[in-house]
Copies of this chain bind each other. A is one copy, B any other.
Amino acid sequence: MKNYLKHHEWHIIEEGFDPRVHRISESLFSLGNGRMGQRANFEEHYSGEMHQGSYVAGVYYPDKTRVGWWKNGYPEYFAKVLNAPSWIGIHIAFGKQTLDLAKCKVTGFKRVLDMKQGLLHRVFTATFPDGKKVRVDARRFCSMADGEVGAIRYAITPLNFSGTATITLPVDADVVNKDSNYDEKFWNEVANEAKSGLAIVTAETKKTFFHVTTGMTYAVHTGGKRSKPASVKATKKEKYADNVITVKLGKEQETVVYKYAVVLSSENHAKPKMMAAAKKKLAAASAKGFEKLFAEHAAVWAHKWEECDITIEGDIAAQQGIRFNIFQLTQTYTGEDERLNIGPKGFTGEKYGGSTYWDTEAYCLPFYLGTADQSVARNLLVYRYKHLKRAIENARKLGFTEGAALYPMVTMNGEECHNEWEITFEEIHRNGAIAYAIFDYIRYTGDETYLSDHGLEVLIGISRFWSQRVNWSADKQKYVMLGVTGPNEYENNVNNNWYTNTIAAWTLDYTRYALDYVRKADESKFAKIIAKAKLTDAEPARWKDIIDKMYYPVDKGRGVFLQQDGFLDKELLTVHDLRPQDRPLNQKWSWDRILRSCFIKQADVLQGLYFFEERFDKETIKRNFDFYEPMTVHESSLSPCVHVILACKIGYEEKAYEMYLRTARLDLDDYNNDTEDGCHITSMAGTWVSVIKGFGGMTIHHGQLHFAPHLPKQWNGYSFRLEFRGRVIKVRVTKQGADVILESGEPLTVVVHGREVALRTIR
């Protein structure tokens, strides 16, 4: 855990340059706008340890799968987030001396991520080996107003000399994926162009043939006025184009280089027209200029913050933490494009390859439901609907038949990209989360039409999968589910994971409800869906039988649900029995030792209690929490939020706050020692959920919004806003109590601490 950042309500601040944390900062200070983004790499050349990373949403590469031993059913490739062409470079040299923070003495270094405005700002003074001193002030943003535009304002001031700077302004598609199985490069050049004032490269991904056109133009200002470089040389080589300009810099005079970039993807443009479109767009951006572009960008951020900000009073670290999470989530996914999803690292790194995990449905959906128009969350569901055919193919590859659908563990385009049998083939509870998300969306929005539009088809596919995946145990006289991996991935290939059995039977039940609902709501649509799916009457009947006779492992003595069959054979220890040198287990223990132990990576039984909390009384939740919580090591970033919510529910306020601290500043404090690979984007949604559903006690019952807010005693107060069925509701909790305010929309009755409260806007 590294605590090198300054606390501030709206800013992430690093003061002083320490190369040892640079890769962490590259992740934390990342910028994105839903369409593109990049790590906080320096504009100037840097020869120290770093991880160059630029990313374009939806552009991926199917890297050939690497395994030790091939298992039948593994996918041939692993679709990976691609390190994309970079446009941020502004390389400065004085003669043969290059401005390189690994080689210069650096003073007055300050890096600030202004989350309110979405601006990366960096200042420093560099002293060259020969004593030359320059001050740099660099500002960069990826426009939220136009996802294809980025801009940099790079100001340089010689402090103790005058001289000519050679400034190289590249567009570079010759990039390497850090996460590559066979050290291949993934891009080919399609076209490049370099002329005075312009450099553009169109590159194509191998195998997938995505085109990305990256272009840049620039302007130099001296003394506040546009000036002409002393010389301009435009060069290009394979997958690369630049302008090299020379500029006379006066002592103590600020010279500003504005670099404007556009990034176009063939997902949104016709390939033959991309070079021309990029030029047009560059000209427009350049004409508008940095300040105007920035103003438009900052205005979007201001609006976003109005929708989704959470304030915390009396705890700046917590305030900074929650805003950082909201900021990153908002940068990663804007919900405008149903082909996109939320990668586990967003635009902050390339680890974990694919873009979509069950994280989206289980953790991220509530964030977008609560902070944006319902079309955003709906797009996340439609994404899966569009992949239904591939989920059916995926299940067929594993031996399932008749339209059974298994959604992939990891995907870009609907195909499975993961290849570890115990996950790929067995961590099938993910299928349940995709069904649950449909329920969760409708519960929140009331948009039942989604069932007939898309939802029912998906539910039928998933239910068919569960129906084939269970088998009848003659021994138990129950349906059992063998060979699964639950959410707690520290158990593999277990029988009758309680959570998986529970969500499977729930899916069957909800699908039967959905069939009924659509039948009544829209007979012709119903007929079409049934015909398309070739659903027979026998199927829902069998589902009913499975629902009735599903086996759930329990410990009657303790009154708890058992994570899986045989769980009680383990040595039942608690986290307190572990020595510090054993942590984290996944780095210190061999895999078999982890598997044999009782220690839990992330909420498993408790995940089920969270999803289906209305089924369980407080005492049941308490008994299970008391049993499982002490064994949970939270070595997944997705774990603590579920514990916060349940702890709040059962009145364990101290425990809730302890858990909250683990999730709220996970990346800022580099809790798991892996922020250098990128931020844990999807788990950030868990932090948001912790506040709203945990401390705020937000639930929906029968379409009605409930709150049960309490205030952690470490805080003076907090507030959040929710978009809910066309309304904006603000909840403010202070030591004096909770206020629920309808900021806009039709009157509404909510339930606060069990009491109905009628809300109407103050006009």
Contacts and interface: CB of A to CB of B under 8 A. Distances in A.
Interface stretch (A17-25, A114-122, A586-594, A702-710): A586-594
Contact of A571 (B67, B72, B471): B471
B473 A568 contact: yes
Interface in A477-511: 480, 482-483, 492-496
A589 B67 CA distance: 18
A195 B495 CA distance: 69
A301 to B, nearest CB: 38
Given A474-B572, A483-B596, A572-B474, A71 B590 contact: yes
A238 to B, nearest CB: 25
Nearest to A571: B471
A421 B591 contact: yes
A320 to B, nearest CB: 34
A763 interface: no
Contacts of A566: 482, 495, 565-566
A482 B564 CA distance: 13
A492 B595 CA distance: 12
A717 to B, nearest CB: 44
Contacts of A593: 398-399
Contacts of A571: 471-472
Contacts of A493: 422, 492-494, 595
A618 interface: no
Given A71-B591, A399-B589, 8 more contacts: A67-B67, A73-B591, A398-B590, A422-B422, A425-B592, A471-B569, A474-B572, A482-B570
Given A66-B68, A566-B565, A592 B495 contact: no
> Which 6 A-B residue pairings sit nearest by Cβ, starting from the closest?
A73-B590, A425-B592, A475-B568, A71-B591, A398-B590, A473-B569
Contacts of A483: 592, 595-596
Nearest to A557: B475
Contact of A480 (B473, B482, B569): B569
Kindly name the residue among A65, A571, A591 whose own CB sees the greatest number of chain B CB atoms within 10 A. A591
Contacts of A66: 66-68
Interface in A514-550: none
Interface string A378-422: 000000000000000000011100000000000000000001111
Contacts of A496: 569
A560 to B, nearest CB: 13
A79 to B, nearest CB: 14
Contacts of A743: none
A593 B568 CA distance: 26
Contacts of A73: 590-592
A426 interface: yes
17 contacts: A69-B420, A71-B591, A72-B590, A73-B590, A398-B590, A399-B589, A421-B591, A422-B422, A422-B492, A425-B592, A471-B571, A471-B596, A473-B570, A476-B569, A482-B569, A482-B570, A565-B565
A419 B68 contact: yes
A425 B590 contact: yes
Contacts of A596: 471, 482-483
Nearest to A493: B493
Contacts of A589: 72, 399
Contacts of A591: 71-73, 421, 425
A351 to B, nearest CB: 12
Nearest to A425: B592
Interface of A: 65-69, 71-73, 397-399, 419-422, 425-426, 471-476, 480, 482-483, 492-496, 565-566, 568-572, 586-593, 595-596
A570 B479 CA distance: 10
Contacts of A426: 592
Contacts of A595: 482-483, 493
A292 to B, nearest CB: 48
A103 to B, nearest CB: 33
Contacts of A590: 71-73, 397-399, 425
B68 A420 contact: yes
A480 B570 CA distance: 9
A478 B595 CA distance: 20
Contact of A421 (B67, B71, B572, B592): B592
Contacts of A475: 568-569
A572 B471 CA distance: 11
Kindly name the residue among A425, A493, A588, A595 whose own CB sees the greatest number of chain B CB atoms within 10 A. A493
A610 to B, nearest CB: 27
Contacts of A568: 473-475
Nearest to A475: B568
B399 A570 contact: no
A470 to B, nearest CB: 10
A220 B390 CA distance: 66
A420 B421 CA distance: 11
Nearest to A183: B182
Contacts of A399: 589-590, 593
A102 to B, nearest CB: 29
A76 to B, nearest CB: 13
A593 to B, nearest CB: 5
A109 B483 CA distance: 52
A72 B570 contact: no
A494 B71 CA distance: 19
Nearest to A399: B593
Nearest to A590: B73
Contacts of A592: 73, 398, 421, 425-426, 483
Contacts of A419: 68
Contacts of A421: 591-592
A584 to B, nearest CB: 10
A480 B494 CA distance: 16
A4 B424 CA distance: 41
Contacts of A492: 422, 492-493
A588 B399 CA distance: 9
A240 to B, nearest CB: 29
A482 B491 CA distance: 11
A566 B69 CA distance: 27
Kindly name the residue among A494, A592, A595 whose own CB sees the greatest number of chain B CB atoms within 10 A. A592
Contacts of A473: 568-570
Contacts of A422: 422, 492-493
Nearest to A592: B425
A593 B480 CA distance: 14
A569 B473 CA distance: 5
A68 B590 CA distance: 16
A474 B568 CA distance: 8
A661 to B, nearest CB: 27
